Amino acid sequence: MASPKRVLRVAKEAQPYRTELTPVSFLRRSAYVFPDKTAVVHGPRRYTYRQFEERVNRLASGLRALGLRHLDRVAAVLPNIPAMLDIHYGVPAAGLVIVPINTRLNSDEIGYILEHSGAKVLFVDQEFEPLVKPLDLQGVKVIRVDDTGAPGDPYEDFLAAASPEPCEPWTEDEYETISINYTSGTTGRPKGVMIHHRGAYLNALGEMLETGLTSEANYLWTLPMFHCNGWCFTWGVTAMSATHVCLRRVDSGRIWDLIDQEGITHYCGAPTVQIGIVNDPRAHRLARTVTCAVAGAPPSPTLLGRLKELGFKPVHVYGLTETYGPHTVCAWDPAWDRLPADEMARKAARQGQGYIMFDLARVVDDKMADVPMDGETLGEVVMRGNNIMKGYFEQADASAEAFRGGWFHSGDLAVWHPDGYIELRDRKKDIIISGGENISTIEVEQTVAKHPSVLECAVVAVPDARWGERPKAFVTLKPGRKATEQEIIEFCRQHIAHFKCPAAIEFGDLPKTSTGKVQKFVLRDKEWKGQAKRIN
Q: How does pLDDT run across 65-94, given as a tens digit for each residue?
A: 999 999 999 999 999 999 999 999 999 999
Q: Do 273 and 314 reside in the same domain of the chain?
A: yes
* Contacts of residue 8, Cβ cutoff 8 Å, sequence gap at least 6: 19, 25, 28, 29
Mean pLDDT, residues 345-349: 82
Residue pair 517/294 in contact (Cβ under 8 Å)? The answer is: no
* 133 belongs to a structural domain: yes
Q: Do 406 and 441 reside in the same domain of the chain?
A: no
Domain boundary at 399, 427, 455, which? 427
Residue pair 139/120 in contact (Cβ under 8 Å)? The answer is: yes
- In the predicted structure, residue 399 carries a pLDDT above the cut 60: yes
User: What is the band of 260 on the pLDDT scale with cuts at 50, 70, 90?
Assistant: very high
* 308 belongs to a structural domain: yes
Q: Do 510 and 400 reside in the same domain of the chain?
A: no
Report the pLDDT value the prediction gives residue 118, as an integer from 0 to 100.
98
Q: Do 162 and 112 reside in the same domain of the chain?
A: yes
Q: Do 302 and 382 reside in the same domain of the chain?
A: yes
Q: Do 438 and 422 reside in the same domain of the chain?
A: no
- In the predicted structure, residue 5 carries a pLDDT above the cut 60: no
Domain count of the fold of the chain: 3
Report the pLDDT value the prediction gives residue 8, as an integer from 0 to 100.
40
CATH (domain of 65) = 3.40.50.12780
How many residues appear in the chain?
A: 536
Q: Do 348 and 287 reside in the same domain of the chain?
A: yes
Q: Do 410 and 261 reside in the same domain of the chain?
A: yes
Condensed to tens digits (0 to 9), the pLDDT of residues 202-216 reads: 999 999 999 999 999
Q: Do 416 and 489 reside in the same domain of the chain?
A: no
Mean pLDDT, residues 285-302: 85
User: What is the band of 496 on the pLDDT scale with cuts at 50, 70, 90?
Assistant: confident
* 440 belongs to a structural domain: yes
Domain boundary at 427, 460, 492, which? 427
What is the signed CA dihedral for 292, 298, 304, 305, rounded to 10 degrees? 180
- In the predicted structure, residue 26 carries a pLDDT above the cut 60: yes
Determine the 3-state secondary structure of 350 from DSSP: coil
* 27 belongs to a structural domain: no
Q: Do 423 and 449 reside in the same domain of the chain?
A: no
Q: Do 162 and 287 reside in the same domain of the chain?
A: no
Q: For the packed helices 301-310 and 341-348, what is the interaxial angle rounded to 10 degrees? A: 110
Condensed to tens digits (0 to 9), the pLDDT of residues 169-185 reads: 999 899 999 999 998 64
Residue with more model confidence, 340 or 62? 62
* 216 belongs to a structural domain: no
Residue pair 487/501 in contact (Cβ under 8 Å)? The answer is: no
Condensed to tens digits (0 to 9), the pLDDT of residues 106-123 reads: 888 899 999 999 999 999
Domain boundary at 427, 443, 463, which? 427
The domain of 467 spans 432-527
- What gap in Å lies between CA 142 and CA 114, rounded to an integer? 12
* 147 belongs to a structural domain: yes
Residue pair 80/231 in contact (Cβ under 8 Å)? The answer is: no
Mean pLDDT, residues 227-254: 97
CATH (domain of 461) = 3.30.300.30
Report the pLDDT value the prediction gives residue 532, as an integer from 0 to 100.
60
- What gap in Å lies between CA 386 and CA 451, rounded to an integer? 41
Report the pLDDT value the prediction gives residue 10, as an integer from 0 to 100.
47
Report the pLDDT value the prediction gives residue 328, as an integer from 0 to 100.
97
Report the pLDDT value the prediction gives residue 534, as an integer from 0 to 100.
65
Q: What percentage of the chain exceeds 70 in pLDDT?
A: 94
* 219 belongs to a structural domain: no
Neighbours of 241 (CB within 10 A): 21
Residue with more model confidence, 299 or 367? 367
- In the predicted structure, residue 344 carries a pLDDT above the cut 80: yes
Report the pLDDT value the prediction gives residue 479, as an integer from 0 to 100.
93
Q: Do 70 and 186 reside in the same domain of the chain?
A: yes
* Mean pLDDT of all residues belonging to the chain: 92
Report the pLDDT value the prediction gives residue 297, as an integer from 0 to 100.
63
Instruction: Mean pLDDT check: name the lowest of 33-37, 100-104, 416-420, 510-514.
Output: 510-514
Report the pLDDT value the prediction gives residue 442, as an integer from 0 to 100.
85
**Type and span of the H or E element at 50:** helix 49-65
- What gap in Å lies between CA 76 and CA 526, rounded to an integer? 32
* 10 belongs to a structural domain: no
Mean pLDDT, residues 383-402: 95
